[in-house]
Amino acid sequence: MKNVLASPKVAAAVGPYSQAIETGGLVFVSGQLPIDPATGELREGIEEQTKQSLTCISDILAEAGLTMKDVVKTTVLLQHMSDFGAMNAVYATFFEGAFPARVCFEVAALPKGALVEIEAIAAK
């Protein structure tokens, strides 16, 4: 059985997908673009965009009664690998104790011209 999760604090999906799916004790959070839900616009700069993407993930996880402490794996997509250090500095502030496993890729482009997109898997 799968349960569709969505947070009213997060901008609606920009395509035919769910914000997250809960199944088998895991929550799979779709890639979160750094869209400010109040304005529908992207935040400015890699630091603010990273913060917004991770805040979206946190808000979605809250719908399942989870926190960032429950994240076991993330995937980070960067438009420019030169933003890796700045993204990492913000990313580190969202986790306590053991960091989740992670992979980071540079990609040719992201939807809406975003500089970063982050997805996560959390365990109950």
Query: Which residues are catalytically annotated?
Result: 104
**E strand or H helix at 84:** helix 84-92
Name the percent of the chain in helix, strand, coil, to the closest 5.
30, 30, 40
Close Cβ partners of 55 (under 8 Å, ≥ 6 residues apart):
none
Alpha carbon distance 32, 117 (integer Å): 5
Residue whose tokens read 């980070």: 76
From residue 13, alpha-carbon distances to 26, 95, 111 in Å are: 20, 25, 11
